[in-house]
Amino acid sequence: MSTSPWTYTRNQRGGLMLLLLLLAGAYGLTRLSGPPGPEDYDHQDGELLAAAEQLRLAAASQSDKPANVREDFPFDPNTVSHRDLRRLGLSDRQATAWVRYREKRPFRTVEDISRLRVLHPDQASHLQNLAYLPPTVADPENRPAAAEVPAERFFFDPNTVSADSFRRLGFSERETNALLKYRSYRPVTFRQPEDLLRVSALDSQHLAAVLDLVRIAVQPSVEPAPAATPGKQTDTLVYVDINRATVVDWTQLPGIGPYRAERIVKYREALGGFATVAQVGTTYGLPDSVYTTIAPRLRGSPILRPLYINRLDANELARHPLLKRSTATVIVRYRENHGPFHSAEDLKKVRALSTENLSELLPYLNFDP
């Protein structure tokens, strides 16, 4: 009897059944265990994660710490910046609360600072001593009286002094207007310092204190020219206003050609106007002999363009011939750190500005914010 190719022996059938059982067992194990999960880093890198958490907490608390070095400087609580509040010793949270408080309710007095609950009482008391609120026109009770405004001392010509400079000398607005009106009736009003006593509106006591500062420029003769004689040519004098004369006007003077006239006008425009007649003589390239000849024919007038010390940036200030770029940069940095300048006394604190240079600048300075 022949054997079929699909028949197996007893041993072969037993081996085949064992193989099937092994395959079924392996498949069952894989189903029970499930897919492999992600590696557990919490146990393997516990120290690293703990260090990272400490760094995160330190960074979060760092913004709430006060500045390491506290600076003291005057400030307006309604305009002081977040950065300057940090410089004053406040934490980031305190500075933010300050800014939000004044957005809803501006500070009316420096005592309002104590209402900020985020400030420690000693901290609030210290800041009140540094804070100031500038007077407003809308509140006449807070407006300082004219007598309380500190007077400055600098040389001036009463025939050409500007209203702003006369106010800085300590005179009231009423007195300033009276002086301007008094001198408007004649080309040469004051020939000597004592002539100011004729202006009855001026305080005689205060006037006596500033008479030593009066410097009257050489004034041209106002005597009428002699009558012309038939057959004889007369020499007619030409007088020039130092701040309004054109290039053509300057060339009418002896020794002044188009080149020198253009130099004078360019220098005047850079200055904003000549403060005195003598300042014309400082024009580069103008010989002393020529200036001596033309000085009697020059007439002073008010400066046409003041120097706004609280508005101009360093580049704009440096364009003025009396200021170096380095000095202008120091002035702007001082103004940013300490607030606007209110008088020449504030400018004296800028060490880069010499006393001599400051006296030359005074006639041009305007302290408006």
Domain coordinates in residue numbering, the chain = 82-141, 146-213, 240-299, 307-366
For the stretch 163-204, pLDDT in tens is: 778 888 888 888 888 888 888 766 567 888 888 888 888 888
Q: For residue 264, what pLDDT is reported?
A: 93
The token pair that represents 264 in the structure block: 């004078």
Evaluate if residue 63 carries a pLDDT over 50: no
Judged against a pLDDT cut of 70, whether residue 315 lies above it is answered with yes
Q: How many CA atoms lie within 13 A of 159 on its CB side?
A: 24
C-alpha distances in Å from residue 65, one per residue of 80, 115, 196: 19, 21, 61
Which residues are bridge partners to 156 per DSSP? 214
Q: How far apart are CA 190 and CA 198, in angstroms?
A: 10
Residues 6+ apart with CB under 8 A from 182: 189, 198, 199, 201
| CATH top class, domain 307-366 | mainly alpha
Mean pLDDT of 106-125: 86
Output the pTM of the full model.
Answer: 0.41
- 240-299 CATH fold: DNA polymerase; domain 1 (1.10.150)
Question: What pLDDT, on a 0 to 100 scale, did the predictor assign at position 185?
Answer: 67
Q: Tell me the pLDDT band of 227, cut-offs 50, 70 and 90.
A: very low
Give the three-state DSSP class for 301. coil
Say whether 307-366 and 240-299 share the same fold. yes
151 pLDDT exceeds 90?
Answer: no
**Cα(366)–Cα(245) distance, integer angstroms:** 24
Answer yes or no: are the C-beta atoms of 178 and 199 closer than 8 Å.
Answer: yes
Cβ neighbors of 341 (< 8 A, separation 6 or more) are 309, 310, 335, 347, 367
